[in-house]
Amino acid sequence: MQAGLSTKNAPSASVVLPHFAFGALAFLTASVMLLFVSEDLKNAQYFFSPHLLALTHILVLGWISMVIFGSLYQLIPVVMEVKLYSEKLAISTFALFSSGLILLSASFWSFTFSHSLWMEIGGGLVLLAIILFAINAIKSAAKTERKTIENTFIVTAVLWLLLTVILGLVIVFNFAFNFLSISHLQLLKTHAHMGLAGWFLLLVIGVASKLMPMFLIVHKLPTKLLNYSYFLINGGLVLLSLAYSFYPEKWLLALSGLLVVSGIILFLRFNQIAFGKRLRKKLDVGMKLSAMGFIMLALTILLGLVSLFRPSFLQALHLGTDVLYGITIILGFLTSLVLGQTYKTLPFIIWLKYYHSKVGKGKVPLPQELYSDKVANWHFYTYLIGMPILIVGVFIGNVITIQIAAVFIIITAVLYNYNVFKILFHKEKVQ
Amino acid sequence: MKIDNLTAEEQPIFELLKTVMDPEVAVNIVDLGLIYEVNLLEDKKEIHVVMTLSTRGCPLGDTIMQNVEVVVEANYPDYKANVELVWEPEWTPELITDAGREAIG
């Protein structure tokens, strides 16, 4: 095999595909749940409500992390130029993760903030799955000869994921045995930020900085910005985690928050440069959705700063900025990115499975022809309409507005599922 | 670059490679500037194609290379195709032809 190629390093499609199927169904489930949690969203202080905890975990684990896992098994060979360490480990991870998540989310829905055996079992299964996933990712990374900043971002993200889940399980057990003196709210904030900034954000930066030049056709990007971003986000996050747990003073939280935000701004600057220098001017639906994700990220930063500094004139209005902060990053930035990047990965996985050995021997469809571009564009627009309505609904705390938004998000999820399953059930066509 | 000095026999092979597409951008590999050399080696009965990819780790890389091999051997059944992948000189967007730029959109 020639160096620098990854097709022969690609894992079996059967390892990757169940993640996309599960992820799409989890997104659909979450969108329907959104309709039933509008009251919770209206009244919520942070995310400390049983229904919101259930919804959040279905979104971050069942939808976003699940698709990320599947994509990462495919992308590790691309980014690191090595074969995935173990496919068996990946299959075991999927089985443990999906069953643990279902138990965990179901027990959150009826949670009474006390001892819950099902939640402890569910959380334990999720932790076991993440340990296996981390072993797989780190062992794969150890084989690479290319020590790039992209790889460092990915490995660090996996370590943050592990810490996030460990802390999550500590919180679950602390409800039963109350062995920590730190308040649950502070622990939950640490858990959330480790997951959102440590796992998701670092992973997105690592993967996007490798894929962006491929998809947009752009070269010679200033990766120095990414190096600074890495240290700012990680430094800020370590400080933020320590501050929340041991010294929750406003100035320290603000300082650590600003470090993270500066890192994100450098990453956004990197993207802006890539976008400006791109040769491929016309954006396909996958890239349009991804671009929307970055606009949502900018909004998250703004809301994060509002939550951090809490200007007194806003406090008096009781606006849902804290909940909105979570929504813009989970249902906004991350969901938009996963929706978009599905179209940049899944069709290629199926295409390679059926047509890798048939190219040149007959007319084969292009990967883009494996799904309906029309349906993808429709759900781009329903999402584009639904998200601002949801943001307004939560901001002003209006149940009807939130429910109208939920209908648009449900339509988005139905159309997305249509395309995902159309790709997954593709039948070979060679003329 | 060798593709600027192709012989009369090598030129049609170079044109033939325009039928090989990069499935991600849906543009042919010649207009993307991925082909560096085409050598028809009569004595060895071999067609030697030197090419690159736009990025290392390209997930579609060896599918494209295999496509080159199949297309060449289907059209020149008496010759063996030898597709060589190189990373030097590094591919840059400047290598894309005007037709390629137009097709990328």
Query: What is the share, in percent, of chain A residues with pLDDT greater than 70?
Result: 95
Q: How far is B40 from chain A (nearest CA, A)?
A: 20
Comparing A8-12, A388-392, A395-399, which segment has the lowest mean pLDDT? A8-12
Tell me how close the Cα of B77 comes to any Cα of chain A, in angstroms: 14
- Report CB contact under 8 Å: A368, B26: yes
Provide CATH code, domain B2-92.
3.30.300.130
Interchain proximity B87–A214, CB inside 8 Å:
no
A358 min Cα distance to partner chain B (Å): 8
**Position A1 pLDDT exceeds 60:** no
CA distance A404 to A218: 40
Domain ranges in chain B are: 2-92
Which residue of chain A comes nearest to B32, CA vs CA?
Answer: A217
Q: What is the DSSP string of A146-198?
A: ---HHHHHHHHHHHHHHHHHHHHHHHHHHHHH----S-HHHHHHHHHHIIIII
A336-388 pLDDT, tens digit per residue, is: 999 999 999 999 889 888 887 777 777 889 889 999 999 999 999 999 999 99
Separation of alpha carbons A220 and A335, rounded Å: 29
Q: What does pLDDT average to over chain A?
A: 90
CA-nearest of A108, A100, A136 to A22 is: A100
Q: Pick the residue of A71, A74, A217 with the most B CBs within 10 A to test the interface with B by mutation.
A: A217
Phi (first) and psi of residue A362, to 5 degrees:
-175, 180
For residue B79, the tally of other CB atoms under 10 A from its CB is: 18
Per-residue pLDDT tens digits for A65-79: 999 999 999 888 888
Q: What are phi and psi of B41, to 5 degrees?
A: -100, 90
Say if CB B31 and CB A279 are below 8 A apart: no
CA dihedral of A18, A24, A27, A31, whole degrees rounded to 10: -140
Is A262 an 8 Å CB contact of chain B?
A: no
A2, burial (CB in 10 Å: exposed 0-12, middle 13-18, buried 19+): middle
From A5, A80, A220, residue closest to B61, measured CB to CB: A5
More confident residue, A157 or B1: A157
Q: At A155, give phi and psi (nearest 5°).
A: -65, -40
Q: Are B105 and A281 in contact (CB under 8 A)?
A: yes
The token pair that represents A262 in the structure block: 């500066």
The β-bridge relationship of strands B46-51 and B35-41 is antiparallel
Cβ–Cβ below 8 Å for A279 and B104: yes
Note whether B63 contacts A279, CB cutoff 8 Å. Answer: no
Q: Does the structure show a pLDDT above 60 at B28?
A: yes
Bridge partners, residue A359, by sequence = A362
Residues A186, A244 contacting (CB under 8 angstroms): yes
E strand or H helix that includes residue B38:
strand B35-41
* Prior bond of B89 cis (ω within 30°): yes
Cβ-based contacts of A360 with chain B (< 8 Å): 20, 66-71, 74
Assess A361–B contact: CB distance below 8 Å, yes or no: yes
Q: Report the length, in residues, of chain A.
A: 431
